[in-house]
Structure formats: structure tokens, C-alpha cells
Amino acid sequence: MTISIALTKGRLENETIKILERVGYGIDELKDKGRKLVFKDTKKDLKYFLVKAADSITYVEHGVADIGVVGKDTLLESDKGYFEVLDLNLGKCKFIVASLPEVNLFEKIGHVKIGTKYPKVAKEYFKKRGMDVEIIKIEGSVELAPILGLCDGIVDIMETGTTLKENGLIVLDDICNISARVIVNKASFKMKGKEIREFLSNIKKGIS
Ligand code: PRP
């Protein structure tokens, strides 16, 4: 039975491919792929495709992909219609709350506005802190929003911290650590259990 694997394009892509290579799943096409999106490993009966993180979850939830590799940041925004089975220990970064130094949004009296690409994570964080904030969804370059006065602070991912620093923002709190995870379609886990377990146990050997 062929196992279909949805890989996340972009930041996680190369690191994921390196793990696959380390454990003998490398296929040359994946390294020199041009604009191609689907790759077959006929010897191992595997099929890979490259998609955006959130779409990887959608493909897995609908059973079009048996397995997906997705960042925990994207998983935390989703509704968990899958099994999360493995931490790949790559793509490591963290969720943070940040603002301009002169704005301490935890002490601000009155309406607090938070800009973020991650409304669910932000909402849950401030709910836990007992703060009722307005969440403003932003699609990218979130650091710009407090500078232009759209919001008081942001909830975003930080990897090196360079983007925050270069835009004069400071971290007010860490929310949680993030890394790439492997997710599996619930039905596939039953129907193709043997093949999936074998794939996962091989992948585990490649995690550093
Ligand atoms: C992410 C995140 C920050 C930046 C953090 O954005 O939203 O902006 O990376 O990385 P750093 O701590 O290493 O500077 P991304 O580059 O994914 O894209 P975006 O700006 O379109 O949101």
C-alpha cells in the first residue's frame, strides 16, 4: 500500500529532506525539484508532495495524505483531526509576546489590541492570563503592526530574534516552544498501520 506524505514547503523543507536522506528515504528529485510538487519513490512505495503548512493538515485530515510534516505553530491553530506522533526536533523556535519598549500591555488600562498570524494561540494565551484583548489577524510582517499603531503588541514566532530587534520590539513573555511534528491520518493509522509504523520508526533514527 502506497503511503502519501505531505511535506511543508519553505523553512522546514530542507531539514525534513535531510532526515529522509539520513534514513535512506532520499530521492534525488526532491533536492532538485524545480516547480514539481509530487514525487514518487516507487521502490519504497512512497509518494511525497509539497504544500503550505496549513494545507498539509487539511490533506492529512481528509486522508489524501497519510502522513504530514508540519510546524507545531500551525498545529496549535488547527482543530486536531489527526494524530500527532513524532517531534522531529527541527524548525525550532518559540511563540512570544512582544511590543515596543514603551508599551507594557500587561499593565495597560483599557482596550488592548494584539496583532498576530495566530489568533487561536493568542486568544488562549491572554485568556489564561485573564485578559480580555482584541485580536487582529495579520497575514505577515507582524512586527510592523505595533510600529504603525495598529495594535499594542503581537503574538508571533521568534527564531533568531533578528526581526524583533531590527524593528525595535522587545519580548515581554515566552509562550511555548515550537518544532516540526509528524502527524498521521486517523483512519490510515488503522488501515496502513504496519507501513506507517515502519516509516516512523525509520524516521526516528534520523532525528538528531
Ligand atoms: C516569521 C515570524 C517573524 C520571523 C521571526 O516570519 O513571523 O516575522 O519569522 O524570525 P527571526 O526571529 O529569525 O527574525 P516569516 O519570515 O515566516 O514570514 P512573514 O514575515 O511573512 O510572516
Q: What is the C-alpha separation between 207 and 90, in angstroms, rounded?
A: 8
Q: What is the pLDDT at residue 146?
A: 98
Ligand 1 atom 5 nearest Cα: 158
The dotted CATH code for 3-91+179-206 is 3.40.190.10
Residue 158 near residue 72, CB atoms below 8 Å: no
Pick 93-177's CATH classification: 3.40.50.720, 1.10.40.60, 3.30.980.20, 3.40.190.10.
3.40.190.10
Are the folds of 3-91+179-206 and 93-177 the same? yes
Residue 31 near residue 39, CB atoms below 8 Å: no
Residue 67 near residue 199, CB atoms below 8 Å: yes
Choice from 163, 166, 170, 177 to test ligand 1 binding pocket (greatest atom count within 8 A of CB): 163
Q: What is the pLDDT at residue 51?
A: 95
Sign of the C-alpha dihedral computed for residues 35, 57, 144 and 148 taken in this order = positive
CA of residue 162 to ligand 1 center, whole Å = 9
CA of residue 92 to ligand 1 center, whole Å = 13
Give me 72's grid cell.
507545531
How big is the chain by its Cα radius of gyration, in Å?
A: 19
In DSSP terms, 34 is beta-bridged to none
Residue 139 CA, closest ligand 1 atom number: 22
Q: What is the pLDDT at residue 201?
A: 97
DSSP state of 57: H
Residue 166 CA, closest ligand 1 atom number: 14
CA of residue 163 to ligand 1 center, whole Å = 7
Q: What is the pLDDT at residue 101?
A: 97
Q: What is the C-alpha separation between 97 and 163, in angstroms, rounded?
A: 13
Q: Is the pTM of this model over 0.75?
A: yes
Q: What is the pLDDT at residue 34?
A: 79
CA of residue 140 to ligand 1 center, whole Å = 8
The torsion angle over the Cα atoms of residues 53, 55, 60 and 66, rounded to 10 degrees, is: -70
Q: What is the C-alpha separation between 16 and 34, in angstroms, rounded?
A: 17
Mean pLDDT (the chain) is 95
Q: What is the pLDDT at residue 28?
A: 77
Q: Which residues of the chain register pLDDT less than 50?
A: none
Domain residue limits, the chain: 3-91+179-206, 93-177
CA of residue 74 to ligand 1 center, whole Å = 14
Within 10 angstroms of residue 177's Cβ, the number of other Cβ atoms is 10
Residue 13, SS3 per DSSP: helix
Q: What is the pLDDT at residue 85?
A: 97
Residue 143 CA, closest ligand 1 atom number: 8
Q: Which residues line ligand 1 (CB under 6 A)?
A: 140-143, 156-163
